[in-house]
Amino acid sequence: MQQAAFTALVILAMAGAQIVPAGAAALGLAAPLSGSAELLGQQMRTGAEAAVAAAADGSTIEIVDTQCSAEGGSTAAEFFVVAEVEAVAGFLCIEAIEAAMPILSKAGIPVITTGVRVASLTDRRERTGWPVYRLAPRADGELAAVSRILTDLWRDDLFAIVDDGTIYGRELAEGFRLAAEQAGLKPVFTDTFRPQLENQIALAGRLRKSGATHVFAGGDRSDLAILGRDARELGYDLVIAGGEALRAAPDAVDLAPGTLMIAPAEWADLAEASVLETFAGREVLPAGYVLPTYAAVEIALQALQPAGNGPRPIAAALSEQTFQTVLGPVRFDEKGDWAGEHYRLFRYDGGAFQPMD
């Protein structure tokens, strides 16, 4: 964004400054409101505005388009500093938040991000000192969950590990293999298959020959669906498991009933019923980033409330307090990540994934 555009934003911030009632808060929302991620940014806006409205305490929120870029992130941060917001929610893209955090950190403004998964954002906390807190899953959370869940679930089973050769599939499969071996388990078969074929008969045959009754496949939904179909055609009772890529829209070939998925719970399945009813009454679909952004604003508002003998730094509250939110209790760990478990085990019933825990 050019300097003239930033100057215009600053003028708007100063002109729009309001006297916030005692006990209320001035918050910011950083969201991509233009470009390819605009739909997700609008979900963030919907959630943030709904949470402020529900608080009904006179709190205000300034909303700025980050454009999912470094320039947009730094411009948004400078706007929030001028607007004297007390905390910022949102951010979807790593480029925007990394450009914004040095500016916001210097001003003592914490961020509760609902969309940035990159692990290094919070792993560097000790070095950067950035007051960033994360509701979104970490990028390495999926592998950690696959390793934890399946090494326990398949301890007494003959299992195989295969991948489609992509970076995503290979890293997930190899990470699970290493975790299994550290747990004293060894797959009976490992392989890399060719994706996007019309059939996976050859792979199903190799798996059956190995004696595997279960297989973890690092790949997408369509390939795992085809593998399941072809295993059934061979009369081969094979349990297939995959990662959150299985949550994609179904193709012509559907997943085999009994397929397992390790993925985050749907936000709406965790949400407080009264909030969902309010959204339904307003014909608002609580999809995507609506609910986590709602929760981020709830957390910011609670963290800004005086505790004990009086007010305390918001960063201290965010680091120490447990917050009651639309998604249930939330507490952040020493890095600033949500201390709860995002990932669950699901089983496909032929029409939808159902939680197994």
Report pLDDT digits (tens) over 239-265: 999 999 999 999 999 999 999 999 999
Across residues 119-137, what is the average pLDDT?
A: 96
Strand 328-330 versus strand 214-218 pairing type = unpaired
What digits encode the pLDDT tens for the residues 176-205?
Answer: 999 999 999 999 999 999 999 999 999 999
Model pLDDT, residue 257: 97
* pLDDT at 272 > cutoff 50: yes
Across residues 62-80, what is the average pLDDT?
A: 98
Helices 273-281 + 38-55 axis angle, to 10: 110
Across residues 140-160, what is the average pLDDT?
A: 97
Span of 10-14, 228-232, 274-278, 337-341 with lowest mean pLDDT = 10-14
Across residues 149-169, what is the average pLDDT?
A: 97
Torsion-angle region of 34 (φ positive above 0: left; ψ -120 to 50: alpha; else: beta): beta
Across residues 113-134, what is the average pLDDT?
A: 96
Which residue(s) pair with 64 in the sheet? Answer: 30
* pLDDT at 20 > cutoff 80: no
What digits encode the pLDDT tens for the residues 284-304?
Answer: 999 999 999 999 999 999 999
User: Which pTM does this prediction carry?
Assistant: 0.89
- Taking only Cα atoms into account, the Rg of the chain, rounded to an integer number of angstroms, comes to 23
Residue 96: pLDDT band (50, 70, 90) is very high
Model pLDDT, residue 10: 47
Across residues 141-149, what is the average pLDDT?
A: 97
Task: For the chain, give the mean pLDDT.
Answer: 92
Residue 340: pLDDT band (50, 70, 90) is confident
Residue 125: pLDDT band (50, 70, 90) is very high
* pLDDT at 206 > cutoff 70: yes
Which stretches of the chain are DSSP H helices?
3-15, 38-55, 70-83, 94-106, 120-123, 125-128, 141-153, 167-182, 201-210, 221-233, 267-270, 273-281, 290-303, 314-320
